[in-house]
Amino acid sequence: MLFSTHGDQNVHVPGDRFEALGLADLRRIRFSGRAQSEQTFAGNFVECLFDGVELDKINFSNCDWKDCRVYNTTFIDCELGDASFITNLFDQCSFIQCKFPNTGISDCSFRNCVFEDCDLSNIVMKSNRIERSRFSRCSTSNRVIESSLLIDTSWSGMNLEVGLILGNFGLERSNVQACVLFEKQPDRSLREITWSDLGRIGGHRPLSPIETFRLAFFETGDADGDPDALEQAINPRNWTSEAIIESSFGALLNSFAQFLLALFAANRLPVYGLLRFHTHNFALLEWLSGKPEFSSLYQSAAGVHLSVTREVDAYARAVQEIVDAHTNLLHIRLEADGPLDPSYYESLFREADGGQIRVDWVRPRNSPVEVSLNFFDYATLLSIVALVLATRTKFELSKIQSMGWIASPPTGDRNGEAANGKQLIAFRTGFSLDRPSEYEINVRTLLPRSFLLDLHLCLNISLFKRVRGVLIGLLLPPKDP
């Protein structure tokens, strides 16, 4: 039986048929239960909630779905062609033997969904977010999905066009099983190619930096699997061949940001990827601020800035906390994976613009080694900590923070004391710390343009990746400095 909810009342839908509600557009209605099979409904669903609904052999042709939330719902042998799906959420849904001819699906989210034996011919799925979902034995006639985010989504027993890989973020080779690959020709025909041909595709047609990065991610499964590809793709200045229309540029900016954030949340991207993107996006914001004709793009960049800043702020708080634990010390100890030769680490820090750093000693520590660094000023200390933390993933950052960092007590020779016993000057990065002082210097107001430049971290991705392989973590300072 099909039930609908209006307000607080849960009522049985007569005949379990949508048309029995007597409305062309079903708006803000909650549905549950099983609908009558082999019915036709040509109206629209707007802001409706489907929770645990069974839909079997229902003709929804020409039916538009907008702003709906669909949970634990099964579509079996349903006609969903000539329709429009816009800004909907599908969670734990199954589409079995459904047909989507000439259907447009945009700005929707699919989580833990299954598409099995469906007809996806001539469908256009654009600017969607698809996570932990599965496409199996579905027929296609084009790239199926474009300008979308694909996270842990698998494909099996299907014909796939190269554009699926080059046109979306997140597809990995490990996600594809028993699929045949096709490449679209200039006359729009499809030519079958081998998977080994994929790596040579850039040899006979130019690839944009974004396409090169997507292809590298597909092959390696890592955002920095090809550091140079990520370095080029992460800078919006290199996107002119990818998006020449303002709205497309804004959509690409948002999609790339969401992809990097998703990888970071899954501990698959060190924070330096976000820091680099954050810096480039901030430069874009500054450029757009004086151009009112690009107000829409400015709003997109501002939204991206806010979403990425949350993670950058968390990183900055961790840097501040650990710097506080060493402010009145002269040494900082690191865990590293490398030789016992101090010159090896001194060379690495020089390449990373580490400032005035001297390696005091290197000694064995179980499997990794322990490195003691001598720093000569606050800025150098800040750079050391920022560099090590920038090469960590989200989980690794939280693990380092959980070690119990305690601010080192003042020694009197590094920080002057005010007459009333307060610290004379406190360095801050924009966070409310209980540190009373006579004068407060906010590092962000002093250095507003580039957080990475402030920390001497304007390194390329290749160097960041190499530093990550050497510097493993930070060790707590001794209790008695």
| Per-residue pLDDT tens digits for 233-283 | 999 999 988 888 898 999 999 999 999 999 999 999 999 999 999 989 988
pLDDT at 411: 54
* Whole-angstrom distance, CA of residue 256 vs CA of residue 239: 12
Question: Angle of helix 295-324 relative to helix 271-289, nearest 10 degrees?
Answer: 140
pLDDT of residue 412 exceeding 50: no
Rg of the chain, C-alpha, whole Å: 27
296 and 339 in a single domain? The answer is no
Q: How many CB atoms lie within 10 A of CB 347?
A: 12
24 has a pLDDT exceeding 90: no
Give the domain extent around 278: 246-315
Please work out, in degrees rounded to the nearest 5, the angle formed at the alpha carbon of residue 218 by the alpha carbons of 212 and 223. Answer: 75
**Structure confidence at residue 459 (pLDDT):** 81
Q: In this predicted structure, what is the pLDDT of residue 59? A: 97
69 and 109 assigned to the same domain:
yes
Residue 432 confidence (pLDDT): 46
pLDDT at 378: 81
Evaluate whether residue 292 is within a structural domain. yes
Q: How far apart are CA 480 and CA 478, in angstroms?
A: 5
Of 315, 339, 358, which residue sits at a domain end?
A: 315
Q: Which residue has the tokens 């996570």?
A: 131
Instruction: Label residue 23 by pLDDT band (50, 70, 90).
Output: confident
Residue 479 lies in a domain: no
pLDDT tens digits, residue range 29-77?
Answer: 999 999 999 999 989 999 999 999 999 999 999 999 999 999 999 999 9
179-205: pLDDT as tens digits: 999 988 888 888 899 998 888 887 778
Q: Look at residue 60 in the predicted model and tell me its pLDDT.
A: 96
Residue 390, in any domain of the structure: yes
Residue 366 pLDDT > 60: yes
**Average pLDDT for the chain:** 87
Q: Is the domain of 339 the same as that of 297?
A: no
Within 167-270, residue ranges assigned H as helices are 209-220, 227-233, 246-265
Task: Report how far apart, in Å, the C-alpha atoms of 398 and of each of 46, 311, 401, 403 are.
Answer: 42, 12, 5, 9
Q: Cα separation of 11 and 304, whole Å? A: 43
Contact indicator for 96, 74 with CB cutoff of 8 Å: yes
Of the listed ranges 101-110, 337-346, 406-415, 465-474, the one predicted with least confidence: 406-415
On whether residue 46 sits in a domain, the answer given is yes
- Shared domain check, 60 and 134: yes
Q: Are 260 and 274 in contact (CB under 8 A)?
A: yes
Residue 328 has pLDDT above 70, yes or no: yes
Tell me whether strands 180-184 and 159-161 are parallel, antiparallel or unpaired. Answer: parallel
> Cβ distance 367 to 360 under 8 Å?
no
The half-sphere exposure of 413 on its side-chain side, counting CA atoms within 13 A, is: 4
Q: Which two tokens mark 458?
A: 């304007």
Q: How far is CA 189 from the centre of its chain?
A: 34
368 in the same domain as 270: no
Residue owning tokens 């007569």: 14
pLDDT of residue 8 exceeding 80: no
330 in a domain, yes or no?
A: yes
pLDDT given at position 355:
62
Rounded CA separation 167/148 (Å): 8
Phi-psi region of 187 (alpha: psi -120 to 50; beta: other; left: phi over 0): alpha
Query: Among residues 315, 338, 356, which one ends one of the domains?
Result: 315
- Return the DSSP state at 328: T
The pLDDT assigned to 316 comes to 87
User: Of 82, 4, 74, whose CA–CA distance to 37 is shortest?
Assistant: 74
DSSP-derived letter for residue 4 is: E
Question: Is residue 18 located within the same domain as residue 71?
Answer: yes
Examine the domain organization and report whether 311 and 333 are in the same domain: no
User: How do residues 436-464 score in pLDDT, each as one tens digit?
Assistant: 444 444 444 433 345 565 665 778 899 99
Percentage with pLDDT > 70 across the chain: 88
Is pLDDT at 107 greater than 90 in this prediction? yes
**Token pair belonging to 406:** 């305690």
Q: Are residues 149 and 254 in the same domain?
A: no
Q: What is the pLDDT of residues 143-181, one digit of tens each?
A: 689 999 999 999 999 999 999 999 999 999 999 999 999
Residue 241 domain flag: no
pTM over 0.85: yes
CA triple 146-151-154, angle to 5 deg: 85
More confident residue, 288 or 412: 288
Alpha carbon distance 216, 206 (integer Å): 15
pLDDT tens sequence across 297-306: 999 999 999 9
* Boundary residue ending a domain (157, 184, 211): 184
Structural domain contains residue 299: yes
